[in-house]
C-alpha cells in the first residue's frame, strides 16, 4: 500500500512537471550561448497566436500611440523657446528676410537655402503651390518665397514666428533641422520627411554665420566675430561641434575642425548611449542639446561639466546646471525619446548591394573578422556599457577627451547606407567602408583576403 502511494505521488509530480514546462513558454537559451543571426534578407515569422487584450493592454497601446504622435510633433516642430536666442538675440531671421522684407542684407532665397542643405517638406505645401513649382511659376530666387515657405511650416527644422501683419519677427530651430532630411521625391531637397536621418547636406556653420549679431557667441568664446565666422565656416556640410561652447576647442591638434559628423537618430531602440563620445542616454542628450545647443528654455543638470579645467566655458556660464521658469523642455523629453526610439533604421534599397556577396560577408562579420564582438546583432552595438578607449580603436583620443568619460562609443551599424556622405567615424576620417575594413584588418591582424574584405563591405551596406 505504501509503495502504491509513492507511485501515485511520483506520477503526480511528473504530470505537474509537464504542465509547468508547458506553461513556461519557449525554451530559453542559456546565458552565454551564442544566438544564430537571421540570414541577410530573412523576414521574421509569426510563432505565437496574439493574446486577448486586457483593459490595461488597451491603455498601454493608446498611451504608446499618443506618445509617438506627441513625440513626432515635438521632434519636428518644437523650438523649446529657442527663438529667443536665434531670432531675438542673434537676429538670424533678419538675414533670412533681407532688407526688402524688413530684415537686413540680400536675404536668403530658396535656391540658397537648398544649397546650404535646408530641406522642404512637400507634404506641407498646398496642392496649387506644388503645381506651380512643377510648372516653374514660383520664383526660387526671391527671399519672399522663403518667408512664404516658413509661413507654411514647410522648411524642415526651421520655424518662423510672424506678427499680425505676417512679417517675420523671429525664428527658431527644432530637432529635425539636423536629424531629418527628405526623400527628394519632388526634386533635390524637396520631398517627404525622413525623420532620424542625419542631414549630411546641412551646412550648420554657414547658416549660423549669416546671423547679423554674432557678438554674444564671440563673447562666450572670448574672441571676436571674425574668428567666430572662420570657425563656423570651417565645419563644412553635415558637421556640428556640440562641445565648442563648453570647452572652447575649435580645432584638433592637426589643425582640422573639431566639428563631428551629425549622427543618425534612428535605430536607437536597445542602444544605451547616444553620441560618439557616449555622453549619456537619448534623454540626456536631448536635454543637453535642447538647453545648451539649441538654447531652449528648460532644465539641464550634469555635474560632470562642472570641471573648470576641462569645461571652462560650461563652468563660467553655469551651463552644467541650467534652470528656467517656465521650463519649456523637460515635460517634452518623455514623448520625444519615445518617438525617437520608435524610428526604425531604414532598409537598404534593392540593388544597392550584392546580396550573394553580402551573405558571405555576414559569415565573415560573425566569424574571422569578429566584428560581432562589439557590433552585436541585431542591435549592432554592445549591450551594457559600449565604451572603448582610443587605443582599442587605433585612433587618437582628441574627441574622446572632450567627453565626460573620455572614451568612444560603439556606434550601431543599421542603416549605414543612408549616411555614407561625409565618411565614417565621428570625424569622417575614413572616406569609405573599405577604409574602415582595412583599418581594422591592420589593427587586429585579421589577415582578411581581398574577397573577404569586399564581401564584408557588401554586408555592411546591407544592414
Per-residue pLDDT band for 48 (boundaries 50, 70, 90) equals low
Ordered by start, the domain boundaries in the chain are 78-182, 355-462
Nearest-angstrom CA–CA distance, 118 and 112: 9
Give helix 433-443 / helix 450-462 axis angle, nearest 10°.
130
Neighbours of 100 (CB within 10 A): 12
Q: What is the mean pLDDT of residues 49-75?
A: 90
Taking only the tens place, the pLDDT of each residue in 360-415 is 999 999 999 999 999 999 999 999 999 999 999 999 999 999 999 999 999 999 99
Per-residue pLDDT band for 40 (boundaries 50, 70, 90) equals low
**Is residue 3 predicted with pLDDT exceeding 60?**
no
**Is residue 15 predicted with pLDDT exceeding 60?**
no
β-strands 321-322, 408-409 pairing: unpaired
Place of cell 505537474: 16
Taking only the tens place, the pLDDT of each residue in 114-145 is 999 999 999 999 999 999 999 999 999 999 99
**Is residue 29 predicted with pLDDT exceeding 80?**
no
pLDDT at position 4, please?
47
β-strands 260-261, 300-301 pairing: unpaired
Taking only the tens place, the pLDDT of each residue in 216-273 is 999 999 999 999 999 999 999 999 999 999 999 999 999 999 999 999 999 999 999 9
Nearest-angstrom CA–CA distance, 22 and 86: 62
Report CA-CA distances (Å) from 359 to 183, 258, 283.
28, 37, 36
Q: What is the DSSP letter of 127?
A: H
- Can you point out the beta strands (E) in 209-268? 239-240, 260-261
DSSP 277-293: T--S-HHHHHHHIIIII
Best CATH choice for the domain 355-462 from the list 3.30.70.20, 3.30.565.10, 1.10.760.10, 3.40.50.300: 1.10.760.10
pLDDT at position 37, please?
52
Nearest-angstrom CA–CA distance, 94 and 79: 18
Residues 6+ positions from 296 with CB-CB distance below 8 Å: 79, 80, 81, 82, 290, 328, 329
Dig out the grid coordinates for 37 from the structure.
Answer: 543571426
Contact 92, 211 (CB under 8 A): yes
Nearest residue to 124 via CA among 159, 92, 95, 98: 159
Contact 430, 423 (CB under 8 A): yes
**Is residue 455 predicted with pLDDT exceeding 90?**
yes
Q: Which residues of 236-271 are buried (b: 16+ CB within 10 A; e: fewer)?
A: ebbbbbbbbbbbbbbeeeeeebbbbbbbbbbbbeeb
Give helix 355-366 / helix 450-462 axis angle, nearest 10°.
100
Burial level of 68, CB count in 10 A (0-12/13-18/19+)? middle
Nearest residue to 220 via CA among 307, 312, 298, 302: 312
Report CA-CA distances (Å) from 435 to 201, 262, 308, 378, 430.
22, 20, 38, 24, 6
Nearest-angstrom CA–CA distance, 194 and 211: 27
pLDDT at position 53, please?
74
Place of cell 528654455: 297
Dig out the grid coordinates for 371 from the structure.
Answer: 566584428
Neighbours of 279 (CB within 10 A): 21
pLDDT at position 36, please?
45
Amino acid at each position: 500500500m505504501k509503495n502504491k502511494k509513492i507511485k501515485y505521488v511520483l506520477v503526480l509530480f511528473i504530470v505537474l512537471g509537464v504542465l509547468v514546462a508547458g506553461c513556461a513558454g519557449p525554451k530559453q537559451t542559456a546565458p552565454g550561448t551564442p544566438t544564430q543571426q537571421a540570414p541577410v534578407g530573412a523576414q521574421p515569422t509569426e510563432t505565437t497566436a496574439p493574446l486577448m487584450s486586457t483593459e490595461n493592454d488597451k491603455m498601454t497601446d493608446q498611451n504608446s500611440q499618443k506618445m509617438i504622435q506627441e513625440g513626432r510633433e515635438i521632434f519636428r516642430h518644437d523650438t523649446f523657446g529657442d527663438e529667443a536666442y536665434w531670432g531675438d538675440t542673434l537676429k538670424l531671421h533678419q538675414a533670412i528676410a533681407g532688407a526688402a522684407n524688413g530684415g537686413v542684407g540680400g536675404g536668403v532665397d530658396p535656391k540658397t537655402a537648398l544649397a546650404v542643405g535646408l530641406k522642404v517638406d512637400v507634404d506641407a505645401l498646398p496642392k496649387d503651390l506644388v503645381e506651380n513649382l512643377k510648372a516653374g511659376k514660383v520664383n526660387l530666387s526671391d527671399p519672399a518665397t522663403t518667408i512664404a515657405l516658413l509661413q507654411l511650416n514647410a522648411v524642415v527644422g526651421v520655424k518662423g514666428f510672424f506678427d499680425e501683419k505676417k512679417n517675420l519677427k523671429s525664428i527658431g530651430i527644432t530637432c529635425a533641422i539636423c536629424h531629418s532630411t527628405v526623400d527628394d521625391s519632388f526634386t533635390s531637397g524637396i520631398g517627404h520627411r525622413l525623420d532620424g536621418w542625419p542631414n549630411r547636406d546641412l551646412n550648420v556653420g554657414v547658416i549660423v554665420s549669416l546671423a547679423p549679431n554674432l557678438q554674444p557667441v564671440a563673447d562666450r568664446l572670448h574672441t571676436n566675430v571674425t574668428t567666430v565666422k572662420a570657425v563656423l565656416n570651417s565645419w563644412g556640410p553635415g558637421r556640428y561641434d556640440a562641445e565648442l561652447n563648453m570647452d572652447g576647442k575649435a580645432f584638433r591638434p592637426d589643425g582640422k575642425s573639431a566639428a563631428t559628423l551629425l549622427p543618425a537618430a534612428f535605430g536607437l531602440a536597445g542602444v544605451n548611449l547616444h553620441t560618439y563620445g557616449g555622453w549619456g542616454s537619448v534623454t540626456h542628450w536631448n536635454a543637453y542639446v535642447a538647453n545648451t545647443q539649441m538654447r531652449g528654455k528648460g532644465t539641464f543638470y550634469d555635474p560632470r561639466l562642472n570641471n573648470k579645467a576641462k569645461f571652462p566655458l560650461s563652468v563660467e556660464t553655469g551651463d552644467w546646471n541650467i534652470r528656467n521658469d517656465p521650463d519649456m523642455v523637460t515635460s517634452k523629453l518623455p514623448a520625444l525619446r519615445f518617438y525617437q526610439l520608435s524610428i526604425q533604421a531604414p532598409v537598404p534599397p534593392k540593388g544597392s548591394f550584392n546580396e550573394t556577396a553580402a551573405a558571405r560577408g555576414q559569415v565573415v562579420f560573425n566569424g574571422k573578422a569578429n566584428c560581432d564582438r562589439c557590433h552585436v546583432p541585431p542591435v549592432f552595438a554592445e549591450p551594457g556599457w559600449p565604451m572603448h578607449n582610443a587605443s582599442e580603436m587605433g585612433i587618437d583620443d582628441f574627441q574622446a577627451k572632450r567627453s565626460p568619460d573620455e572614451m568612444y562609443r560603439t556606434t550601431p551599424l543599421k542603416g549605414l547606407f543612408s549616411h555614407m556622405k561625409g565618411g565614417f567615424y565621428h570625424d569622417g576620417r575614413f572616406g569609405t567602408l573599405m577604409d574602415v575594413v582595412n583599418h581594422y584588418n591592420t589593427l587586429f591582424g585579421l589577415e582578411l583576403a581581398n574577397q573577404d574584405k569586399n564581401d564584408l563591405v557588401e554586408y555592411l551596406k546591407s544592414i
